[in-house]
Amino acid sequence: MGKPLSAGTIRVHGLHHAYPDGQVAISGVDLTIAAGERVALLGPNGAGKTTLMLHLNGVLTATSGSVEISDIPVVRKNLRDVRRRVGLVFQDPDDQLFMPTVAQDVAFGPANFGLRGEELAIRVRDALEVVSLTDLADRSPAHLSGGQRRRAALATVLACDPEILVLDEPSANLDPVARRELAETLMTLTATLLVVTHDLPYAAQLCDRAVVMDAGAVVADGDVLDVLADTDLLARHRLELPWGFTIDHVRSIPRQVRR
């Protein structure tokens, strides 16, 4: 039996979140992302992007409002199922790489969800193949380059076969080659993709849609190139293209071919 039509959808309605010290991080966010969409989540520091991201698999709990993943409410009783469907890839690979070898790191997630034996081995092999790290399966993550570590962290999530991938600043601290290699890997995936980033050209390369947050609210939502071409909008929310870049440069960035 195939996945239901709702598999890979994200629905956020009236979401509010306040931290214990009273700081309001999210205020009335409504957001719907269809299965298979590639969406960039943009905004200045402190806009609420990471807080929203952490609600998608129940790391944080809404003060009010609701989050649904593939029509499943993100509430305590559903967290195991939700976390199988939503994979978070954090900015720092050290948050996800802690085992003696890359293969053991990649196996950790699916093993925790109950996979064993040949099925687990196949899942690990396939995830490493997607990120082109098969030859480094037995290497310590500490001995990988920054780009390899980022792809290994992605493999730990892919091994769980998520319907939705959420990536926090995936291009941060990568050299140009590693940045391109990661983009090429991401564009081979069919999962719904939410990319939290300050790297506007990378957002344009990977995504078709951009959502801008500021002060805990969604302030813009549209075609990624239209959003990046709106210089007044970007300026109001402390966003800007890198020095020397124009929207014409962004429009000329070749988008990776999707499988």
All structural domains of the chain with their residue ranges? 10-252
Q: Which residues contact 88 (CB under 8 A, 6 or more apart)?
A: 53, 54, 56, 57, 59, 157, 166, 168
Q: Looking at the domain that runs over 10-252, which CATH code has it been given?
A: 3.40.50.300
Cα separation, 231 vs 239, in Å, equals: 9
Structure tokens at 243: 């020095």
pLDDT per residue, tens digit, the chain (259 aa), is 445 557 899 999 999 999 999 899 999 999 999 999 999 999 999 999 999 999 999 999 999 999 999 999 999 999 999 999 999 999 888 888 999 999 999 999 999 888 899 999 999 999 999 888 999 999 999 999 988 998 999 999 999 999 999 999 988 888 888 888 888 889 888 899 999 999 999 999 999 999 999 999 999 999 999 999 999 999 999 999 888 777 787 777 666 544 3
Residue-level pLDDT at 146: 87
DSSP sequence for the chain: ----TTTT-EEEEEEEEE-TTS-EEEEEEEEEE-TT-EEEEE--TTSSHHHHHHHTTTSS--SEEEEEETTEE-SGGGHHHHHHHEEEE-SSGGGT--SSSHHHHHHHHHHHTT--HHHHHHHHHHHHHHTT-GGGTTS-GGGS-HHHHHHHHHHHHHTT--SEEEEESTTTT--HHHHHHHHHHHTT--SEEEEE-S-HHHHHHH-SEEEEEETTEEEEEEEHHHHHH-HHHHHHTT--PPTT--HHHHHHSPPPPP-
Q: CB–CB of 201/195 below 8 Å?
A: no
Indicate the burial class of 76 (C-beta count within 10 angstroms; 0-12, 13-18, 19 or more). Answer: exposed
Cα separation, 78 vs 188, in Å, equals: 29
Q: Whole-model pTM? A: 0.89
Residue-level pLDDT at 252: 77
Residue-level pLDDT at 184: 87
Residue-level pLDDT at 3: 54
Count of CB atoms within 10 A of residue 148's CB?
Answer: 20
| Number of alpha carbons in the 13 Å side-chain half-sphere of residue 56 | 33
